[in-house]
Chains A and B, each alone.
Chain A
Amino acid sequence: MRQRPSPRSGKARAAEPSRAQGDGPVSAALKGMRRWGLLLVLLVLALGFGLADAGFGTLENLRTIADRCAVPLVLAVGMTFVIRQGSIDLSVEGLMAVSSLTFALTVANSRTPLDFGFVGLLAAAAVGGVFGLLNGLVVTRLRVPSFMATLGVGSMGFGLAMLLSGDQPPLIRDQALRQWALGHTGGVPNLALAAAACLIGGLLLQNHTRFGRYNYVIGGAEDMARLSGLNVDLYKVLVFAFAGLLAGLAGGMESARLGLGHVDTGAGQMFAAITAVVIGGTPLSGGRGSVWRSAVGVLMLAVLANGMVFIGVTPYLQKAVQGAIVLIAVVAATWHVRGRLRIVP
């Protein structure tokens, strides 16, 4: 009970991601809802947009949606691990800012003589990882709640990015990189492929490594994990570093696509990532959820954003409509865990 007084500490459950334990009798319908609720919402949305405008389902638009998913998906994979261990990562946008600048300044650009090509993406990810590591250390060593710690570290990221940006945001002159980021392979956008690779990596980590299993355990019952001799702090730090790494990569990807390093590269991405994870059924109190389901959450948000533009919902109403649909989606997709989604019961 040192760090996070859990509302459920009395009935701490073994970590088992895919098997929800209903409080009281759970009807068959709700069981179905548990498994299919999110996909149902996604289907209804896609069908609705498709009916409103037949062009919605064309290959080109599906490709557009895939492209739109890429960066949020990379972020959501990392965010799932963080939220699942009972923490939160609010540093995403700051990390994306600093990694965006790092990336742009290490590949062929308008400001520095460096030209590391695709290695620049690794540099961006590495910078993100270092900041993520810092997140983890501040949370575990200094015992600062992750909410504050990551906000602070993210702010540092912004500051450093501002410094790197200086007088002139660096323009990316590496044509190979630009072509890769804007291009397709076999009809699928390259960035979406990169994001899919991150998703698969996340799934492997989640399902087949100690890192993944302990992630559930720590989020489900941190005290028990500690009592049973688990090096909780180590795994927490690793998760933050992993999430930072992915945020850094996302910053690099977005910069490669837009052709410049910019402080605002991650604008609006943090809440999108958290929303996707929550829609995917990972409670903010941790211990449950899956990268896979977060990915479906990302897809749903992308379909929603794309569909609204596609069918031409007036921009004056769009935010309101978007908010309402996201709320409906959260309710429908997470009905079975409604009590547990809250941080404060």
Chain B
Amino acid sequence: MMQRLRALATTAGGLVFVALAIRMALPAQGTALCQKSQLRLVNSMREIAQPYHVNLNKGGRMFATWAGLDSQYVLQLNQGDSDKQVALMRALLATNPQCTVFNVEPNADVVVKPMVETANQTGAWIVTHWAHNKGLHPFAGNDHWIAHVAVNSEEVGVAVSERLVAAIGGQGGIVALQGRLDTDPAQKRFAGLQKVLARHADVSLLAQQTANWDRTAAFPIMQTWLAKYGDQIKAVWAANDDMALGALEALRAVGRAGRIPIVGVDGIPEAIAAIARGEMTATVSSDAFYQGSIGLAMGVCVLTGQAPLPQTWGKEQREYYLRVVVITQDNAAQYLQEPTVDASISEWQCDRLWGRATGPAF
């Protein structure tokens, strides 16, 4: 028995050695893995009905155009269906997987794992965003998972909550609209609010409900709160801009739009416009244009040999938190226009891909 085990171990060791040898033989920086004409850039996301997703797509397309890969850009929409997101990926990878780069906005945290596995198996390349399940890392043997660009949702929650508390002078009642309760950003953004509330004893959370990220659902909830609490409500916290805008319309119906501070998250154009008008107080943006393009930029850099293979990158280059921007009335004007290609080029340079990293994630 022991002997067989030992033999097995030796064989395994040999295999590892062979694998290592093959890896060493793989090209490092300077050698292109694919011809430019073979490259295929894929943005995989939920839909393009929400401004956030529209901008993800715009960012990706902007990069593809700049890189001269316009006709090789593919948009995959899963309409909120996680299985479909994986299935679409597998279907596309039936051909030319080695030169395909996936930039993924995961429909749910759990979808990252099967997509990374698909990339590992087929030899395709993948960059993921937001959050993924615990115990999974690009640097833990997932050579084709180029990087995970995470957003620290708790930090985001803290940032907007602080603006909200400041806007009401540190005292008064607030109401909170949560996102879908089973999602990581919803939980962490709310945790951020609670963290801030713990520091401000004079601010009380009158009520909190979920509106499932949805503007239509936020409207009647806000109406109900207005009927119940009336003037006690000094401010409105929402886990995303869509719900914040729904609450804003409910306030408009009672003639109080612009008189009650509202914060949201995402930095969608409508919210930024509302901030500029003074009807909203703040939002936080992870910059959809950037998220929609950076993964593709990384892939192109790796596949054209302008950047070394991901397995040689440092841990904090493969999984890191993205720097986010708090948008208030002071800087709203600057974010009202869409970013230009010229402004983005420097961030797509192969030696500057990590310009917005703020440190290792998770």
Q: Contact at A67–B249, with CB atoms within 8 Å?
A: no
A122 to chain B, nearest CB (A): 22
Tell me, yes or no, whether A340 is within 8 Å of chain B by CB. no
Q: Contact at A264–B216, with CB atoms within 8 Å?
A: yes
**A316 and B48 alpha carbons, distance in the complex (Å):** 29
C-beta contact mask, A283-309 vs B, less than 8 Å → 1, else 0? Answer: 000000000000000000000011001
Interface residues of B in 187-244 (CB under 8 A from A): 207-210, 214-217, 219-221, 223-228, 230
Tell me, yes or no, whether A315 is within 8 Å of chain B by CB. yes
Tell me, yes or no, whether A258 is within 8 Å of chain B by CB. yes
Q: With A258-B246, A264-B49, A267-B214 in contact, is A315–B227 under 8 Å at CB?
A: no
Tell me, yes or no, whether A312 is within 8 Å of chain B by CB. yes
Contact of A309 among B58, B178, B225, B245 (CB under 8 A): B225
Q: With A64-B220, A162-B48, A310-B227 in contact, is A182–B252 under 8 Å at CB?
A: yes
Q: Contact at A64–B227, with CB atoms within 8 Å?
A: yes
**A265 and B223 alpha carbons, distance in the complex (Å):** 18
Tell me, yes or no, whether B270 is within 8 Å of chain A by CB. yes
Query: Number of A residues contacting the other chain (C-beta, 8 Å)?
Result: 38
Which residues does chain A contribute within 8 Å of B210, judged by CB atoms? 315, 318
Interface residues of A in 169-185 (CB under 8 A from B): 169, 171, 178, 182-183
Which residues does chain A contribute within 8 Å of B49, judged by CB atoms? 161-162, 165, 169, 262-264
Q: With A182-B249, A258-B246, A312-B207 in contact, is A68–B223 under 8 Å at CB?
A: yes
Q: Contact at A68–B220, with CB atoms within 8 Å?
A: yes
Which residues does chain B contribute within 8 Å of A169, judged by CB atoms? 49, 51
C-beta contact mask, A307-323 vs B, less than 8 Å → 1, else 0? Answer: 00110100110100000
Binds B, one of A55-63, A127-135, A330-338: A55-63
Q: Contact at B178–A60, with CB atoms within 8 Å?
A: no
Q: With A58-B227, A258-B246, A309-B225 in contact, is A67–B220 under 8 Å at CB?
A: yes
Tell me, yes or no, whether A23 is within 8 Å of chain B by CB. no
Q: With A58-B227, A64-B223 in contact, is A315–B51 under 8 Å at CB?
A: no
**A311 and B47 alpha carbons, distance in the complex (Å):** 35
**A63 and B210 alpha carbons, distance in the complex (Å):** 22
Tell me, yes or no, whether B87 is within 8 Å of chain A by CB. no
B241 to chain A, nearest CB (A): 12
Tell me, yes or no, whether B181 is within 8 Å of chain A by CB. yes
Contact of B224 among A64, A259, A260, A318 (CB under 8 A): A64
**A167 and B47 alpha carbons, distance in the complex (Å):** 11
C-beta contact mask, B48-61 vs A, less than 8 Å → 1, else 0? Answer: 11010010001000
B300 to chain A, nearest CB (A): 24
Q: With A162-B49, A310-B227 in contact, is A258–B216 under 8 Å at CB?
A: yes
Q: Contact at B227–A63, with CB atoms within 8 Å?
A: yes
Which residues does chain B contribute within 8 Å of A316, judged by CB atoms? 181
Q: Contact at B228–A258, with CB atoms within 8 Å?
A: no
Tell me, yes or no, whether B269 is within 8 Å of chain A by CB. yes
Which residues does chain A contribute within 8 Å of B270, judged by CB atoms? 171, 260
Contact of A167 among B58, B215, B220 (CB under 8 A): B58
Which residues does chain B contribute within 8 Å of A306, judged by CB atoms? 220, 224
Tell me, yes or no, whether A226 is within 8 Å of chain B by CB. no
A53 and chain B: residue at smallest CB distance:
B228
A48 to chain B, nearest CB (A): 16
Contact of B253 among A53, A161, A182 (CB under 8 A): A182
Q: Contact at B217–A267, with CB atoms within 8 Å?
A: yes
Which residues does chain A contribute within 8 Å of B252, judged by CB atoms? 178, 182
A100 and chain B: residue at smallest CB distance:
B216
Q: Contact at A168–B219, with CB atoms within 8 Å?
A: no
Which residues does chain A contribute within 8 Å of B47, judged by CB atoms? 162, 263
B49 and chain A: residue at smallest CB distance:
A263
B337 to chain A, nearest CB (A): 13
C-beta contact mask, B268-293 vs A, less than 8 Å → 1, else 0? Answer: 01100000000000000000000000
Tell me, yes or no, whether A254 is within 8 Å of chain B by CB. yes
**A64 and B224 alpha carbons, distance in the complex (Å):** 6
A54 to chain B, nearest CB (A): 11
**A279 and B224 alpha carbons, distance in the complex (Å):** 24
Tell me, yes or no, whether A257 is within 8 Å of chain B by CB. yes
Tell me, yes or no, whether A268 is within 8 Å of chain B by CB. yes
**A55 and B49 alpha carbons, distance in the complex (Å):** 38
**A61 and B223 alpha carbons, distance in the complex (Å):** 8
Q: In this complex, which of B178, B214, B224 has the most chain A Cβ atoms within 10 angstroms of its Cβ?
A: B224
A193 to chain B, nearest CB (A): 15
Which residues does chain B contribute within 8 Å of A168, judged by CB atoms? 51, 54, 269
A63 and chain B: residue at smallest CB distance:
B227
Which residues does chain A contribute within 8 Å of B226, judged by CB atoms? 60, 64
C-beta contact mask, B151-194 vs A, less than 8 Å → 1, else 0? Answer: 00000000000000000000000000010010000000000000
Q: Contact at A259–B249, with CB atoms within 8 Å?
A: yes
Q: Contact at A264–B224, with CB atoms within 8 Å?
A: no
Q: Contact at B227–A264, with CB atoms within 8 Å?
A: no
B279 to chain A, nearest CB (A): 12
**A309 and B207 alpha carbons, distance in the complex (Å):** 9
Q: In this complex, which of A258, A262, A310 has the most chain B Cβ atoms within 10 angstroms of its Cβ?
A: A258
Q: Contact at B217–A268, with CB atoms within 8 Å?
A: yes
**A61 and B48 alpha carbons, distance in the complex (Å):** 36
**A2 and B246 alpha carbons, distance in the complex (Å):** 48
Which residues does chain B contribute within 8 Å of A60, judged by CB atoms? 226-227, 230
Q: Contact at A257–B219, with CB atoms within 8 Å?
A: yes
Which residues does chain A contribute within 8 Å of B208, judged by CB atoms? 315
In the complex, 8 of the A-B residue pairs with CB atoms within 8 angstroms, ordered by the A residue number, are A53-B228, A169-B49, A182-B249, A254-B216, A268-B216, A268-B217, A309-B225, A315-B178
Which 6 interchain pairs have the tightest Cβ spacing? A263-B49, A61-B227, A182-B253, A315-B210, A60-B227, A309-B224
- With A167-B58, A258-B219, A315-B178 given, can you name 9 additional A-B contacts, CB distance below 8 Å? A60-B230, A63-B227, A64-B226, A68-B223, A259-B249, A260-B270, A264-B214, A267-B217, A315-B181
